[in-house]
A and B are shown apart, each in its own frame.
Chain A
């Protein structure tokens, strides 16, 4: 069974600074995918970034990038130049071997002006 662990229930960052959100996972699958989703107060689930496990190169999307350490089963999200609109719950998720997506419990990010 897949598991996803987010060890930081809450994080805060100053506007324009950089913050890293942690995620570890466990899976026995060799072919799997990892995702970060953002959930702002509006409750929408918004895809931030996707990483294919077979790719060694870390995924990036504008100010968002990941540090994917496959051997350590670690998948952290780095947000650069933080903006007020980045304030949200961030969920790490894993999918592999089936159609099921497994979520972590989330990290609440606060951005201070």
Chain B
């Protein structure tokens, strides 16, 4: 049972480059999320999705884009990478079943923009 899988685990980008962080889950969860965690801080929500074809902004969406074409996949796109986007990125998924169920997290992607 893989759960939530994120790739890559580490990446170094140059300023202005673009990349896509991949996230896939095999639990048939309808809700998926992207967070960033800056050093010494909690997680901040970037984007989330309540189902295929539906996405919405979180607290810190600027500089990012997402899509949700399938239940399983929720990629995060960084366009024109900036040093302020250096962070650890977490993908998570959950299901709404008799209330808010806990989110299951991937192992994170450490991204450095130089």
Contact = CB atoms under 8 A, between A and B. Distances in A.
Interface of A: 4, 31-33, 35, 42-45, 47, 50, 52, 91, 95-96, 99-101, 103-106
Contacts of B42: 4, 91, 103-106
Given A33-B100, A103-B44, 13 more contacts: A4-B42, A32-B100, A45-B105, A47-B102, A91-B43, A95-B100, A96-B100, A99-B96, A101-B45, A101-B100, A103-B42, A104-B42, A105-B40
A31 B98 CA distance: 12
A91 B99 CA distance: 20
Q: At the interface, is chain A mostly helix, strand, loop or mixed?
A: strand
A47 B90 CA distance: 14
Interface string B49-76: 0100000001000000000000000000
Contacts of A101: 33, 45, 100, 103
Interface in B97-114: 99-100, 102-103, 105, 107-108
Interface residues of B, number: 22
Interface of B: 31, 33, 40-45, 48, 50, 58, 88, 90, 92, 96, 99-100, 102-103, 105, 107-108
A24 to B, nearest CB: 14
Given A91-B42, A99-B31, A44 B102 contact: no
30 contacts: A4-B42, A31-B99, A35-B102, A42-B107, A44-B105, A44-B107, A45-B43, A45-B92, A45-B105, A50-B102, A52-B99, A91-B42, A91-B43, A95-B100, A96-B100, A99-B31, A99-B48, A99-B50, A99-B96, A99-B100, A100-B48, A101-B33, A101-B45, A101-B103, A103-B42, A103-B44, A105-B41, A105-B42, A106-B40, A106-B41
